[in-house]
Structure 1
């Protein structure tokens, strides 16, 4: 079996959307909620965080064991219908870990060379709450990626321009075959009604925090810093190369919204011989910086917790580490300012599907014509949706 991986020349896996949060990450709570067929290999494999592996001559009672989703060979109707029907293709429905605006999708057929699908499409739907598979089947599905030819052993990257907030995606394959991984990169759009009046981790991915810049990504991604859960091994954190100059390394995180940071956790768990010696937290808003935590000594393999003095609201926080090394996680507990609440709510409301926006307005006793007036630039007309 070939070991080299190819990427179509018209779509590259290095496109900018790949640096956004994977909304279909299991760490965020994603899961496969329904599929019509996965006899050869479980659809759950689509969401495994690690790259797909292949071990030749490892056979189970159903054949070669594949690290991906693989359906049986179809022997029914023609698979060349122009539109999806239940009879001509296979599919899997994924609940996103967090609702958001999808900016790009990767359909990876890694190691599937003689058994990959001929074509595929990706659709999305927004179904609030905790819908069952039959409710999802009745939902209105929108094409994010139209039916497109696939190649074997290839990471197909598709840019998406749809500005709508979605909760679920569906991968359709024609007529059958195997897909190793599905990635759904985008921007988190949390529901402000779930956060209003609470203190929470302003930096967390699940609330819309983004590690938007870093001095060094040599060993691992800065996106690990604000990922859910605790790091189990060193590779779950952010680690820099060894510095040979007088500088220092850093990561800048855009918070879920403008807020007051009340406490911080700087976690060096699993970093025993390569933790930074010191760390500093610097907040900023509109270019004005405020030191939240002065340069402070760190210990290896330790969760450091700090209460921070009340100070000016910030929209970004930069953690400076001296001189280099690795961190497992950074948590920034705080509360949104009124301006931060309004900005977060506008991003959410403007991205809702029209029917969902009207339902939210009706429940709050607001005129439904506000749904057609979007995008709103001022939150005042819809503040009753989420205000205490």
Structure 2
């Protein structure tokens, strides 16, 4: 839809820059926003990587996300290992499709969480870069330096925000953001103080932006790369993060029969990732409840909890009603036979795993087929994924 809209406005797809999250593995592992089974979904990821490598050189085809893994309850080491392993899986997926490593790897990017354990987070980012560079060169044969660079975005930890005394979330966000900067993030999102209660107000969002701007323009921390390199504590934490991650890679490689891609899919199908995250989340919550881990304003230092909350953003259903009305008008005005024809072709092509679906998906968007209609056309072939929980 983005490509269709741009070309309708006269902008060629080769000029488009941006990032598609497109990381389906973490959905099965953590966020649960999936529709199709894993292997069918990975076909769509493969198609988009191949298409953008050939036709959209400025486009980041996958943003491999650890953020949702960490928000679901993983440890920092699990976030690191699961995310980078997913990255290796996408590399192997593209290689299986016949793409040379240096034609697509430079446009892969990452998305990490910035949690509250300051030095641990910095070590996590440093370990990620070391691991990615080594594996890309030694295991996957990358030659270009850009293929070995782990470029990443960071967002502060939504799960660390508290509904109690929401103003102190400003402090949490500032500390987490600084960890991201010192760890070498390329871009940054700072959460707003009221996001444990509602979508942010304009004032809360502006404070979050100002937090970034103070770090960027007042602290001078952006003037040097890897400022904590050489610190005994940070270096030892980085080594430990890397060690724990390599243990997980070895396990995935083993269950995948020498393939991290197969290991990741099998780990999802056997609920291994989900079980690890659930166990880590339970252990952390138990420590909070027993007072072994302190959350200011929640299990200690609760004076002020009875004060009224700040003004919150109120959302009504007016926007939803307005959008539904616009959608009805689009459906009324479009060429329905053209929509039906392209959706039927999409279903036929979905049945052939050798066909790249991106051109037909773009054509479907050009006919004003809706997202639901497009998903339904592929779903008749791909089926739906139903996760079977294990205890």
Shorter-chain TM-score tier: under 0.3
Between Structure 1 and Structure 2, the one with more strand by share is 1
Q: Which has the higher contact order (CA 8 A, sep 6+)?
A: 2
